[in-house]
Amino acid sequence: MSTGHDDSSNSNKHFTFTIENGAVTAYFEVENGITQQESIDNRDSFVIDGTQITHTKQSSNGPEITVYSDPEGDGSYKAISDSNGTDDDGNNDDRPGSGDRKGYQFTINENNEVVEVFEIKKGVPELEPIDDDGTEVYSVTDAGDVIRADEEPFGTEITRYSDADGDGIYHRVSEEWSPSSPGAGFKITDRLDYSPSSGDDRIGVRGGEDCHGGQGADDFVIREAAHLRIGDFNSSEDKFIIFDTGLGLISREHLESFVTNIHRSDDDQDFIVDFGSTASVTLVGVASDQISWDDVSVLS
């Protein structure tokens, strides 16, 4: 679980936000009468919900989420909680609720070829062997991004990795599906993103990391049977949780037949749907009456 703290004891510090057309365009820290503008780049996203603003910043250690509140409505916000994507013991792992965002390292030779791939697990790079049968091909773009083309039985899955802060750790930023024949495998062939924008996005949901939408009406697309977490689904603002697994699901009723348990988390904060012991979907901060099967779409 992520860690959090109450920052309300620091009565001298607050924050102000510049909001234009319903979006945060700048924000400032104010302490002891001194105002300092905080930087915003493509790793930052903001969600405005009444008197609260949730700031998500993607970092090499996973998403860093801070919630600001202005209960008096005077434009002065306090940071009421933050989370840094780590477990209570300070580690990131693949268990449900870890909040991790998976990181990768690549060894790139003088010919601009990827020769080694490492996944960061609990802060330690572990070698992930590259298939030598030609079904897994890596390339490096002029901008320094890494592209992985993974040939599957019914097409090719293309994943883009980027090192936004230049620290040598890459994160998945998007994926696309190129079918070998029309309609084969996954049904959605448009790009899925892992970082939200201010528009309407299709967000890829993967195991081992929390996924977050942005300020638009987002779809959350599930393509694997794993322990999955959706950090900010809102049925009144977002569109669907889409199951596009390529596993032969034909309807919501068919999907529902695989459900083994529906329950709340131990702290009563999250809504959890179990599909046996190896797969689940956790909706963070969602009450039982805020989600229904009408919010679910099944494509395959």
Is 18 in a helix, a strand, or coil? strand
Q: Where are the alpha helices (DSSP H) in 128-225?
A: none
pLDDT at 93 over 50: no
pLDDT at 95 over 90: no
Structure tokens at 240: 């669907």
Structure tokens at 114: 């990827």
**Confidence class for position 7, pLDDT limits 50, 70, 90:** very low
> If we measure between CA atoms, which residue out of 121, 95, 139, 26 comes closest to residue 278?
95
- The helix (H) or strand (E) run that includes residue 53 is strand 52-59
Q: For residues 271-290, b (16+ Cβ closer than 10 Å) or e, as one string?
A: bbbbbeeebbbbbbebeeee
pLDDT at 94 over 60: no
- In this structure, of 35-39, 109-113, 257-261, 291-295, the range with the lowest mean pLDDT score is 35-39
- In this structure, of 8-17, 147-156, 205-214, 281-290, the range with the lowest mean pLDDT score is 8-17
Return d(Cα 211, Cα 224) in angstroms, integer: 14
Span 31-59, average pLDDT: 84
Give residue 85's pLDDT. Answer: 41
Give residue 300's pLDDT. Answer: 85
- In this structure, of 32-41, 62-71, 226-235, 263-272, the range with the lowest mean pLDDT score is 62-71
Return d(Cα 138, Cα 114) in angstroms, integer: 6
Give residue 261's pLDDT. Answer: 95
What are the pLDDT digits (tens) for 98-134?
445 688 999 999 999 999 999 987 778 899 999 888 8
* CB contact set of 89 (below 8 Å; sequence gap of 6+): none
**To the nearest whole number, what is the mean pLDDT of the chain?**
84
pLDDT at 28 over 70: yes
Give residue 92's pLDDT. Answer: 37
Span 20-35, average pLDDT: 89
Return d(Cα 242, Cα 144) in angstroms, integer: 31
Span 164-192, average pLDDT: 91
Q: Look-up: residue for tokens 């694997």? A: 224
Neighbouring CB atoms inside 10 A of 113's CB total 12
- In this structure, of 12-26, 27-41, 58-72, 171-185, the range with the lowest mean pLDDT score is 58-72
Give residue 22's pLDDT. Answer: 87
> If we measure between CA atoms, which residue out of 229, 215, 192 comes closest to residue 45?
215
SS3 content of the chain, % helix, strand, coil (to 5): 5, 45, 50
**Confidence class for position 62, pLDDT limits 50, 70, 90:** low
